[in-house]
Amino acid sequence: MKRGLILASASPRRRQLLDEAGYAFEVDPSDVEEPGPAAGADPGAYAADLAWRKARAVAARRGAGLILAADTVCAVGGEILNKPVDRDDAERMIRLQEGGDADVITGLCLHRGDRPEWLGAIEVSVVRFRALSDAERAAYLDSGRWEGKSGAYGVQDRDPFVSVARGSFSNVVGLPMERLAALLAAHPALLD
């Protein structure tokens, strides 16, 4: 069992990934507002900034412990695709990604609550999105499985039209476990 973390997220997918990897952790969602990106915003910088804001908010509230925060976005041609606001927005996102590749970018932040120390990273994976028939797209949109998911899909749901073409599967789910383990191994003082 690895030393405890404070997860600044209510995401059940992130909790599951940490559980499966054997991390001891508690959940303390940041409740930080997630403003939409500014026009032309860099997807990696946007995700990293949101992760840092979430970690900082929980660190300030807790005053101690190692806070883990993450924010995951999809991007196509530099356009950031956050969580869709409704069915029409989900359809727009799916159509943008169909028949091509999309970047999935997670900003990751580890922040000490009792010291002004933090560490950030950005992980990028590529997802391949096959073309859908009108019937497949409508059925998927009617299912509601797109709700609450960046880019309007969840690779962990085994959606048959998306696959990880390059990079970390766990990153596409929402928390790059390989990068997290590497950061903790390279910076053991964060755990003191």
pLDDT tens per residue across span 70-115: 999 999 998 999 889 999 999 999 999 999 999 999 999 999 988 8
Rounded percentage of the chain residues whose pLDDT exceeds 90: 72
Secondary structure (DSSP) of the chain: -EEEEEE----HHHHHHHHHTTEEEEE-------PPPPTT--HHHHHHHHHHHHHHHHHHHH-SSEEEEEEEEEEETTEEE-S-SSHHHHHHHHHHHTTEEEEEEEEEEEEESSSS-EEEEEEEEEEEE----HHHHHHHHHHTTTTT-GGG--GGGT-TTEEEEES-HHHHHT--HHHHHHHHHH-GGGG-
Res. 16: pLDDT tops 80: yes
**pLDDT digits 0-9 by tens, 105-145:** 999 999 998 887 889 999 999 999 999 999 999 999 999 98
**pLDDT digits 0-9 by tens, 154-177:** 877 776 788 888 999 999 989 999
Catalytic residues: 71
Range of the domain at 6: 2-191
CATH number at residue 180: 3.90.950.10
Q: The pTM is what?
A: 0.89
Number of domains in the chain: 1
